[in-house]
Amino acid sequence: MAADTQKPASAFAKFMAMLSPGARVAAVVLVLLLLAALFAPWIAPYGENEIVGEFWEPFSARSWLGTDQLGRDLLTRLIYGAQNTFLIAGTATLLSFTMGSFLGFIAAVSRGAVDQLLSRLNDMMMAIPTLIFALVILSVMPSNLIVLILVMGILDSTRVFRLSRAVAVDIAVFDFVEAARLRGERTLWIISREILPNALTPLFAEFGLRFAFAVLFLSTLSFLGLGIQPPEADWGNMVRDNRDGIIYGIPAALIPAASIAMLTISINLIVDSVIGRTSSLKGGRDA
């Protein structure tokens, strides 16, 4: 709780100390992936779309993970793909959280008609299967990054809305919220100062999971040809492009698939560990 009084230099070390051993490994993996994405042009052995050899070459000293269906270096594509995956999934998740939690808190604090309106609109959105909704919109709208992020973020925010409303309703019944109301505080102040700090733990946990889902969703969209457009690299994209190789015993599709799995599992491990620790601090309530 007193973490914000600590020096920022030790914040990461403290964070690591409270994780389980598995989650520590996951944190290292995540940081490595993040670094790879950030410094892609400097660390990638080749250019993103550079053809370095025959198609579907096996592992070799020249290209460590072999080549893809066009003879591009797989490792290079993976590194550049991480860039896209992190950027799009990250922004979409941030968007869905800002929107979803803000509206969820408003609904929980105002109750009554505002709550009904927001919640029923949200139900309507949720009633339509996400993937089909996304497919329809993306095939009509121009295919660019911003549309993709907006669609992913807005669709995902319905889930965040549900969670944050439920969490905030629980917090809003506490006397300290009533005290703020009696003081005459405005709704926005109550949301940002009284509700948000107490809702951060479950929201953070959800953020990790939602990010993982966003990665998977982006991969699905790319796999269906509506996500990131070729020739740009993206992990889901790479699975689709290389899937025919599996018939001939070529593992090129499995490597980006394994990367997606690794990222998702890492995030889940960290989030699980964080939930476990913080909920026990609150008095052992099981998450």
Partner 1 sequence: MNAEHNILRVKNLQISASEQIPGQRPRQIVIVDDISFELGKGKVLGLIGESGAGKSTIGLASMAYGRGGCEITGGEVWLDGENVLEATPGEVGKLRGAKVAYVAQSAAASFNPAHRLGQQVIESALQHGLMNRDAANKFAVDLFARLGLPDPQEFGDRYPHQVSGGQLQRAMTAMAMCCRPQLIVFDEPTTALDVTTQISVLASIKQAIRETNTAALYITHDLAVVAQIADEIMVLRNGKMVEYGSTDQIINKPREAYTQSLVSVLANVKPEAGDTAEEAVLVANGITAAYDKTNMVLQDISVELHAGQTLSIVGESGSGKSTLARVITGLLPPLDGEVIMHGKPLPPELKNRSKEQLRVLQMIYQMPDVAMNPRHTVSRIIGRPLEFYFGIRGDEQRSKIIELLRKIELGEEFYDRYPAELSGGQKQRVCIARALAAEPELIICDEVTSALDTLVADGILNLLMQLQEENNVAYLFITHDIATVRAISDTIAVMYQGRLVRYGSKSTVLEPPYDDYTELLLSSVPAMELGWLERVLELRGQLND
Q: Which residues contact partner 1 (rule: CB under 8 A)?
A: 1-2, 5, 14, 17-18, 174-176, 178-179, 181-185, 193-194, 197-198, 277, 281, 284
Min CB(204)–partner 1 separation in Å:
14
Min CB(274)–partner 1 separation in Å:
11
Min CB(110)–partner 1 separation in Å:
11
Min CB(181)–partner 1 separation in Å:
7
Nearer of residues 129 and 184 to partner 1, judged by Cβ: 184
Nearer of residues 260 and 274 to partner 1, judged by Cβ: 274
Residues 6+ apart with CB under 8 A from 262: 29
Nearer of residues 39 and 174 to partner 1, judged by Cβ: 174
Nearer of residues 51 and 200 to partner 1, judged by Cβ: 200
Min CB(281)–partner 1 separation in Å:
7
Min CB(96)–partner 1 separation in Å:
24
Nearer of residues 64 and 189 to partner 1, judged by Cβ: 189
The residue type of 193 is R
Nearer of residues 251 and 276 to partner 1, judged by Cβ: 276
